[in-house]
A = this chain, B = another copy of it.
Amino acid sequence: MKHTGSPDAALLDVTAPQRELLDQVLDKWSLQVLDQLCGRPLRFNELRRVIPDVGQKSLTATLRRLERNGMIERVVLAARPVAVEYRISPIGDSLNELVDALLQWTSTTLPHVEAARERYDGATDTEAARA
C-alpha cells in the first residue's frame, strides 16, 4: 500500500486527452449506466427506471457520450414502435473493473474518512465558537 512517485503529472493536466477521457466517463451518471449495463443490455426507459432521479436529457447526453467514446453500443431493434437497446462494449467492461476497485476502496476507507470529517468539523466548530 505504498505509492511511489507520480507516473506522469502531465497526464493529469486539464488539457491532456487522458484527463478529458476520464471526465467524460467517470461522471455521476456514466458510472451508473455502465454498472447497470454490465451483464445484460437494457432499453432507454428501462435505464430511466433503474437509475433513480435521472432525467431524459441527462440520460440521453450520457448515453451519447458513452457511445461516442466506445464504452457502449446502441442497437436499434426491428420492432414497432422503435425499440433501442444499449449494451456495454469490451472497453466499457474493462472500465467497470476499475470502477469496482474504486468502489471497494471507498467501502474500506469510508470509516476512516468519516472519522476524519468529524475531527475536521469539530475543530472548525470550536474555532468558530471562539470568534
Residues of chain A touching chain B, judged by Cβ–Cβ distance below 8 Å, are 1-9, 11-14, 17-19, 21-23, 26, 28, 31-32, 35-36, 38-39, 50, 52-53, 67-70, 90-91, 93-98, 100-107, 109-110, 112-113, 115-117, 120-121
Contact = CB atoms under 8 A, between A and B. Distances in A.
Contacts of A68: 116-117, 120-121
A105 B100 contact: no
Nearest to A26: B26
A68 B122 CA distance: 11
A3 B93 contact: yes
12 contacts: A1-B90, A1-B94, A6-B96, A11-B106, A14-B32, A18-B106, A19-B106, A22-B103, A70-B112, A70-B115, A91-B113, A98-B105
Contacts of A17: 106, 110
Given A1-B97, A107-B18, A116 B13 contact: no
A91 B4 CA distance: 14
